């Protein structure tokens, strides 16, 4: 199904599944965030009952500057609005505005083991090369907060990129263990990971995922990059040896660029490959840059408007937090009562 077909599909309100997903306000978002997650959130809005969260508490796992964190929270909200999240149809809120996230995180820590957290590959990736004294314990513990985020909203589906699969599996294990120990109470969520775009790789290293906080400036195309910058980054993107444009396991760099081309243009990869037969990497890269620039232009135009009016984002977040709290409060009452934390 292509981008617009998904948006056209609607599901009656009463039978809608609940979707929850979050994004860290940890810097400019890139096309990996967009193609792996945000675009799917936008496309599926009519099908589901959606809750989207700017997870600023997760951003605290790495060192932050307060003013910058606040500014990033507003600009990430604007990115989601510019990409097409409709606050009338979807709840969009700031994690720290709903205190129940932190409380549930603590309670769920009692049904999650040290061993489970030690096996999380994101923790290993983000802490590798750093001394133990400089890694926050929050970085180790944040999958429990992520489980709390999800379980607080009786979530059925969690649309994420492939890098989050292990964390969603942990959230499922935590919910199942809680239900076993306390005789039910939590909905067990499912990950929703699309095959295409689930893992967009860094432009300078096709073995590593594109990431906001890891890698140099040429590894990512940011959603705010101008046409000239996108051109330069695509031209500099590493390619595999040879000159045939094809998506094979021996050509991971080309496969990544073809995926980006296909997702932004809506054209299947085999058709793109056929069109560039005998033309070489140069022609392909020039057109790829053009495709990305064209696809991002309307998002960037809306983003400029929204960034000029930060009160719009503040209003959306305030209203979203009120709506989110309605469900969060109910879940916490249920959880506290089942755990024996409420006096009769």
Q: Are 167 and 122 in contact (CB under 8 A)?
A: yes
> From CA 234, how far away is CA 296, in angstroms rounded?
14
Rounded distance between C-alpha atoms, residue 129 and residue 114, angstroms: 21
Give Cα 43 to chain centroid, integer Å: 14
Considering the complex, state which of residue 51 and residue 160 has its C-beta at the smaller distance from ligand AQP.
160
CB-based contact 54:23 (threshold 8 Å): yes
15-44 footprint of ligand AQP as x/- string (CB under 6 A):
--------xx-x-----xx--xx-------
Closer residue to ligand AQP, CB minimum distance, 80 or 335: 80
209 in contact with ligand AQP (CB under 6 A) = yes
Question: SS3 for 278?
Answer: coil
Name the active-site residue from 194, 209, 233, 285: 209
* Cβ–Cβ under 8 Å, residues 193 and 161: yes
DSSP string, 84-147: T--TTTEEEEEGGG-THHHHHHHHHHTTS-HHHHHT-HHHHHHHTTS-GGGS-HHHHHHHHHHH
Chosen residue from 3, 16, 17, 199 binding ligand AQP by CB under 6 A? 199
Using DSSP's 3-state secondary structure scheme, residue 190 falls into: strand
- Number of residues this chain uses to bind ligand AQP (CB under 6 A): 20
* Catalytic, out of 126, 194, 251, 285: 126
Give the integer Cα–Cα distance in Å for 300 and 216: 22
Residue closest to ligand AQP when measured from CB atoms: 36
Shortest CA distance to 74 belongs to which of 101, 102, 94? 94
**Residue 44 tokens, joined:** 């599926």
Residue number with CB closer to ligand AQP (58 or 285): 58
Site string for ligand AQP, 210-249 (x = CB under 6 A): xxxxx-----------------------------------
Q: Minimal distance in Å, beta carbon 101 to ligand AQP?
A: 15
Active site residue 212: yes
Nearer to ligand AQP, 119 or 279 (CB): 119
| Interface of this chain with ligand AQP, residues 144 to 183, rule: CB under 6 A | 160-161, 163-164
- The stretch among 194-202, 286-294, 300-308, 314-322 that binds ligand AQP (CB under 6 A) is 194-202
Report the residue number, 84 or 185, with the smaller CB distance to ligand AQP.
84
Footprint on this chain of ligand AQP (rule: CB under 6 A): 23-24, 26, 32-33, 36-37, 160-161, 163-164, 198-200, 209-214
Residues noted as catalytic: 126, 209, 212
């Amino acid at each position: 199904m292509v981008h617009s077909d998904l948006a056209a599909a609607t599901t009656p309100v009463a039978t809608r599944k609940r979707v929850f997903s979050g994004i860290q306000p940890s810097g400019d978002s890139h096309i990996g965030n967009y193609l792996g997650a945000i675009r799917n959130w936008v496309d599926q809005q009519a099908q589901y009952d959606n809750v989207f969260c700017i997870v600023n508490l997760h951003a605290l796992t790495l060192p932050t500057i307060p003013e910058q964190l606040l500014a990033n929270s507003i600009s990430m909200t604007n990115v989601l609005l510019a990409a097409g999240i409709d606050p009338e149809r979807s709840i969009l809120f700031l994690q720290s505005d709903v205190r129940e996230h932190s409380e549930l995180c603590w309670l769920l820590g009692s049904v999650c083991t040290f061993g489970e957290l030690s096996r999380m590959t994101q923790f290993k990736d983000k802490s590798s090369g750093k001394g133990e004294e400089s890694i926050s314990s929050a970085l180790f513990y944040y999958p429990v907060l992520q489980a709390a985020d999800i379980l607080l909203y009786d979530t059925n589906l969690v649309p994420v990129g492939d890098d989050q699969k292990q964390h969603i599996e942990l959230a499922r294990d935590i919910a199942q263990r809680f239900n076993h120990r306390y005789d039910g109470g939590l909905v067990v969520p499912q990950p929703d990971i699309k095959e295409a775009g689930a893992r967009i790789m860094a432009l300078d290293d096709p073995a590593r995922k594109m990431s906001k906080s890891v890698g140099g400036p040429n590894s990512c195309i940011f959603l705010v990059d101008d046409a000239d910058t996108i051109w330069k980054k695509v031209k500099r993107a590493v390619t595999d040896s040879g000159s045939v444009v094809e998506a094979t396991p021996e050509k991971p760099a080309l496969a990544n660029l073809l995926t980006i081309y296909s997702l932004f243009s809506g054209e299947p990869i085999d058709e793109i490959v056929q069109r560039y037969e005998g033309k070489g990497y140069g022609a392909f890269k020039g057109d790829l840059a053009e495709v990305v620039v064209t696809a991002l232009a309307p998002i960037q135009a809306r983003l400029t408007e929204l960034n000029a009016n930060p009160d719009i984002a503040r209003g959306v977040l305030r209203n979203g937090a009120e709506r989110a709290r309605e469900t969060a409060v109910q879940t916490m009452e249920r959880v506290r009562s089942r755990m024996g934390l409420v006096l009769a």
